[in-house]
Structure 1
């Protein structure tokens, strides 16, 4: 079974499916720096870098599964919540345009948890109806990554739509699993980071954070409401605004001082392997990409469940 990936970003969904034995044959992403990261890590996948609205469906090779983590800002409680009235929200219908042309066996979608509640449920009903009108049978799950083995609170909506009723009927989302790792099982405090990540001890930012760090086993960050502290060794949600406002990057106290976590550590908290890396792009783009991607192991486990219902036959 082969995958077509839309709104691919740096390839979190693609990596999860590849880890589960699927092949990604074609992907589309518009952000230039995200494309650089994608190409750096997926050199064998054909990547289209044009605006999805300009994609000619005749240029897309045949595939079995359409996967898309479509833009979430218009549905998020942290965004403007304009939904389909927002240009970014309307990009969902580009997924339907490509589905109409290519008729995939399965459609996999990922978005924010608020997708089901947005506009009193009307947005999710519209998405459901668009899929149902195309004869897809639908399963969905709202899941927090920390309930699936990753020490980050990141709640997302996952939708799997099948053309085949029997496959949909047999399919089950992965069961929750106990959390065995916490923040500092992922981030090694005994290894010194580059000096540029450490706060200047003479800065106001350092003084405020130093006073706020009462539990060195938690992670911290500046927010609109002051300094935010994690609980139970579980990171709060990594956000794309880390790339816009550097002071929103999470902060820890390690064996050498107080510092922001690195982009590579952000990837680790999203479940990416150490082999996944960034090319030479601006630091702000790295952080933005980390906040925009998915928790890889959660998607990987969903992809595994797809295989177990016979999709791979």
Structure 2
């Protein structure tokens, strides 16, 4: 089942769909910081490096599905929150235009929780209406990844659509009772981390690939709340920045000294350090054989923080695949049959 990936980043969403049995035949991202990482980990996928806005739709291959999440900074509560009024926010419209012209059987759209903020209500309704007018039955849900075997509290919006002529009724997977913690994800890495080279550059002497952590001062914003989760808890959201990475669970919780001000506990038996690039990747459920290529550590954190957790992507991909298979089992039509010839 061949699919296309837009705004691919380093490929968290893509890897999840590959693990579920889909084949990524064409991907696109014009961020040069992700190119070497993506091509190294997806050697069989063609990566188009052009700005999506200048790519003729005819250059994008026909496919069963289109997946991807347009840049989220315009919708984030931590960003400028201009939404669709921002140039990056309008990339959503490019995404919708490609779907309407390529007419895949399904699509998956991912974005930050901020897209549901009341200030974006009109724009979000426009997105849903446009997708419906493009000929799709639309289903969306705000998901906390912690409910889907990801050791992290991370809320994201997923919109999944199926072409109306397929007459498919879809339900998102139910949350898992079993939960994953920091101990599950990174405990075995606690003793072999290394410091980066000067100016937070990659250290080639890492013992485990990418197991090096960002060094530097902490901003007042960072120190405005506790940044430490214990081993038996899920991680805070992994950010797209080394400077804002959570603190490793070896340290004590931070101490509140006044409103919006915390300090590091001087009695902590272990030092305060940020999570390493590999630890963040583990928390985002990337396997250890997925190698991130970068010179500056912050590029590694950025790739990982912008990614969809692999396990959640796989769970959603399996649900889509099973939904399509149930349909083919009932219909057995010549139109749907090519979906399952791969």
TM superposition score normalised by structure 2: 0.79
Match status 1:267 vs 2:281: yes
Distance 2:304 2:125 in 1: 30
- In structure 2, relative to structure 1, the CA distance for the partners of 1:204 and 1:65 (3 Å cut) is closer
Q: Which residue of 1 aligns with 2:93?
A: 93
Q: What does residue 309 of structure 1 align with?
A: 323
Q: Does 1:137 align with 2:128?
A: no
Describe the SS at the equivalent of 2:227: strand
* RMSD between superposed Cα atoms in Å: 2.5
Tell me by how many angstroms 1:123 deviates. Answer: 1.9
> Could you say which residue in structure 1 is the equivalent of 2:290?
276
Give yes or no for contact 1:167–1:310 (8 Å, CA) kept in 2. no
Instruction: State how far apart, in whole Å, the 1-side matches of 2:222 and 2:273 are.
Output: 16
Q: Retained in 1: the 8 A contact 2:147–2:179?
A: no
Cα deviation digits, residues 36-77 of structure 1 (max 9, x gap): 110110011000001111111121221110111111111111
Q: Give the distance between the partners of 1:199 and 1:29, measured in 2 at CA.
A: 25
Could you tell me how far apart the structure 2 residues matched to 1:186 and 1:292 are?
19
**Aligned equivalent of 2:247, options 245, 248, 251:** 251
Distance 2:294 2:64 in 1: 34
Query: In the TM superposition, what whole-angstrom CA distance separates every residue of 1:86-129 from its partner, at most 9, and x where no partner exists?
Result: 00000011112222331111111000112123425212201101
Question: Match of 1:241, SS?
Answer: coil
The separation in 2 between residues aligned to 1:59 and 1:262, in whole angstroms, is: 39
> Which aligned runs of 4 or more in structure 1 are off by greater than 6 angstroms?
none
User: What's the CA shift for 1:174?
Assistant: 0.9
| Aligned counterparts of 1:287 and 1:179: Cα–Cα separation in 2 | 27
Equivalent residues of 1:16, 1:303 under 8 A apart: yes
CA distance in 1, matches of 2:131, 2:65: 14
In structure 1, list runs of 5 or more residues that go unmatched: 206-220
Corresponding position of 1:20: 20
Deviations 1:270-302 (A, max 9, x none): 111111111243211001111111111112111
Aligned twin of 2:44: 44
Contact 2:83–2:120 (CA under 8 A) maintained in structure 1: no
Match of 1:7 in 2: 7
Tell me the residue number matched to 1:61: 61
Q: Name the TM-score, length of structure 1 as normaliser.
A: 0.86
Corresponding residue for residue 172 of structure 2: 173
Conservation of the 8 A alpha-carbon contact between 1:9 and 1:31: yes
Name the count of aligned residue pairs.
292
